[in-house]
Amino acid sequence: MVEHPVRRDDSGIPSDPARVDETGRRPIRVIGLLLLLQAAGLAGVVLYELSRVDWRRLDPESPSARAIGAATSLLFAPPAVLALLAALGFLFLSRRGWILAALSQGTSLAICLWLYTETAPLYVYGVMVYCILMVLYLNSHDVRVVFHHPGREDVGPASGASSDD
């Protein structure tokens, strides 16, 4: 039995995306697992902050700093859900997984930047570093190769405009 290598064009993208070997899918599975870890971490931050508040003694007229911190930590719930959905998308090799992962990273970073300017809890630094590394990994060549559309050229904003003015 003769194995035929995957042919690649000049850009390094396989000419037949259905024949991407198993090593080409490894970065996708790694990102899926990292997104699961991120979803668990964000959910852990929310649960930790919520557990620190004594809800029976909470005065609605003047809430404590811990209660405000717990309420603001709830902002991490939507990015955690997005990260979980993105992880499932990556593990099942769905193209929607990439956009969900990018949205999760962007919203997590936006929330972290807002928290940094307001209260600056210590966990913000770790979440920001993790999100930045995930954005870099999402945009790596190995990941883009798997999600590349084979017959579609990358069209920039200027190429669609007419120059016959």
Is 14 among the domain residues? no
* Enclosing domain of residue 45: 22-54+62-146
Q: Which pLDDT value is given to residue 152?
A: 56
Q: In the predicted model, is pLDDT for residue 73 greater than 70?
A: yes
Tell whether the torsion through CA atoms of 42, 128, 141 and 30 is positive or negative.
Answer: negative
Is 103 among the domain residues? yes
Is 162 among the domain residues? no
pLDDT band at 161 (very low <50, low <70, confident <90, very high): low
Closest CA to 40 of 89, 94, 79, 91: 79
Is 7 among the domain residues? no
Q: In the predicted model, is pLDDT for residue 9 greater than 70?
A: no
Is 139 among the domain residues? yes
The CATH number assigned to the domain holding 78 equals: 1.20.120
Q: Which pLDDT value is given to residue 143?
A: 80
Q: Which pLDDT value is given to residue 21?
A: 55
> Mean pLDDT throughout 58-75?
82
CA distance 122 to 22: 39
Is 131 among the domain residues? yes
Number of domains in the chain: 1
Q: What is the mean pLDDT of the chain?
A: 79
More confident residue, 96 or 150: 96
> Which stretches of the chain are DSSP H helices?
22-51, 65-73, 77-91, 96-118, 123-138, 141-146
Q: Which two tokens stand for residue 2?
A: 């003769």
Is 154 among the domain residues? no
Q: In the predicted model, is pLDDT for residue 121 greater than 70?
A: yes
The pTM of the full predicted model, rounded to 2 decimals, is 0.72
> 157: which DSSP letter?
T
Q: Which two tokens stand for residue 91?
A: 């593990």
Q: Which pLDDT value is given to residue 6?
A: 52
More confident residue, 156 or 77: 77
Is 15 among the domain residues? no
Using a pLDDT cut of 70, give the percent of the chain over it.
Answer: 74
